[in-house]
Structure 1
């Protein structure tokens, strides 16, 4: 279901995609610190292969990189309720393949990683205001977002799923069958835009968290929700009341790639981030981290 892309293709892809991770947020940075920052040494990455050790990143320099090295830490903005990309493990430590990727970037810089867990729609404002150095939170490349921030190269691409109440998987199989229905998505995500653009005859229902939306579907309060494939599979695995509908979006509607978000004008940092992504996609270590995160999330029931 997932496709790991060669990083060389992603720059071209960046502005051609029309929708997933979310609509551009208009929130102010004040909404972002809904969370507490947590520091962790960059060496404490997931047990997936460390891809940065054999690569010399010292040639990457610039004002942004110098500032990060001077403070000794890379500050990441994320929302840790989006397994397998980012979540909290049994000991309340940050986990997931996005967190692993952030550790690889911190390692490449030779600094520690500090993670700030915040509301999803507060991450882009936090990046723009330099409250965080970059955001990695399952962000989908989107041309509206690209007006406000810069995207890295794409590191992962996922199918979009329609999740419905158990027993309705063969009921909602077409756009015609979904007319007049209410579909959910996380607030501030590209899935909201996908529903509005691809399913205009449906009513959009938004909440802040995916698990809460899954409960709404299971309880019959809304007719379904639209979500990334990996996240949707996790929701279904841990909730007997929901299933994946036999419904597919076209590639034109939902050709989504995930990338990190950076403040515009931080080209030196973006070049290093792109170099790390190129390496971890090419050598398969990101895919290994993804599979490990999927397995870990499954054991935690998330």
Structure 2
């Protein structure tokens, strides 16, 4: 038995003390989760943009961005978890802590930089046009005309460009790249605003019905999205990107996933961006 400072005897107190000591020594669930999260890097991407973000026949994530994420994880000593997320949901997921990074062919824009941070650019590209073969459109300037229809994918820089610069033509906002391409193939849209590589690939699949205007009318760069206030991780990502490029890592990724495209761009006289 123990006596309290009041002098009263406390019956049964002593056996509780060791139990309390054990309980306080155990890590709290939140602490356990935090420790586990420190060992894991959750990377968000939309697995619907081959060959950068996609799934293999078994449904597992693969592609340029997936390999890049795993190489980053190795450099940081952290296990990588790929979280498939709709493109327009990536920034909200990053801001709320559901993911640690965005590696999803995301263009670093001033507007996006208001809510998240970006790494140094790791890829240079630009917006161009996939147009229907019979269309008289030869440049972005020809698109903004009454009666014309322009397809864009929701949440992309093509969508942002159309909202800012196309006032007289109808802008058709679609959730999927394939749906936008189909609008052009079927002649329902005059053009689809998208990046160089995808435009080339979509033209290659639909050469009888489309033309690719591959000279970019707006140059862009892709970067890794990082939550604001996470300066240490940003510094680590930038260090990795610099080292990975110096070791020829991006060149190897290009050879693995984009060899045919590299050769085609060389023949066309366009610089290959990876």
TM-score of the alignment, normalized to the shorter chain, above 0.5: yes
Match of 1:217 among 180, 184, 200: 184
Give the whole-Å Cα distance in 1 for the aligned partners of 2:116 and 2:169.
30
Aligned residues of 2:101 and 2:227 also touching (Cα < 8 A) = yes
Alpha carbons of structure 1 residues 255 and 288: separation in structure 2 relative to 1, 3 Å: same
Alpha carbons of structure 1 residues 267 and 207: separation in structure 2 relative to 1, 3 Å: same
Following superposition of structure 1 onto structure 2, how do residues 1-302 of structure 1 map, counting pairs within 5 Å? 71-168=38-135, 171-175=136-140, 177-178=142-143, 179-180=145-146, 181-246=148-213, 248-250=215-217, 254-295=218-259
Unpaired segments ≥5 residues, structure 2 = 1-33, 262-274
Alpha carbons of structure 1 residues 68 and 117: separation in structure 2 relative to 1, 3 Å: farther
RMSD value over aligned CA atoms? 2.3
Give the whole-Å Cα distance in 2 for the aligned partners of 1:269 and 1:293.
27
- Structure 1 residue 240: deviation in Å? 4.0
Give the whole-Å Cα distance in 1 for the aligned partners of 2:75 and 2:138.
46
Give the whole-Å Cα distance in 2 for the aligned partners of 1:185 and 1:291.
29
Aligned residues of 1:161 and 1:244 also touching (Cα < 8 A) = no
Q: How many residues align?
A: 227
Aligned residues of 1:164 and 1:245 also touching (Cα < 8 A) = yes
Aligned residues of 2:196 and 2:216 also touching (Cα < 8 A) = no
TM-score, normalising length from structure 2? Answer: 0.76
- Structure 1 residue 186: deviation in Å? 1.0
Give the whole-Å Cα distance in 1 for the aligned partners of 2:204 and 2:129.
14
- Structure 1 residue 193: deviation in Å? 1.5
Aligned residues of 1:120 and 1:188 also touching (Cα < 8 A) = yes
- Structure 1 residue 237: deviation in Å? 2.1
Alpha carbons of structure 1 residues 70 and 245: separation in structure 2 relative to 1, 3 Å: closer
Secondary structure of 1:154's partner? coil
Aligned residues of 1:185 and 1:206 also touching (Cα < 8 A) = yes
Alpha carbons of structure 1 residues 268 and 164: separation in structure 2 relative to 1, 3 Å: same
Structure of greater relative contact order (alpha carbons < 8 Å, 6+ residues apart): 1
Larger radius of gyration: 2
Give the whole-Å Cα distance in 2 for the aligned partners of 1:91 and 1:151.
32
- Structure 1 residue 137: deviation in Å? 0.8
Residue 25 of structure 1 corresponds to which residue in structure 2? none
- Structure 1 residue 90: deviation in Å? 2.4
- Structure 1 residue 197: deviation in Å? 3.1
Give the whole-Å Cα distance in 1 for the aligned partners of 2:257 and 2:54.
9
Secondary structure of 1:270's partner? helix
Give the whole-Å Cα distance in 1 for the aligned partners of 2:254 and 2:179.
24
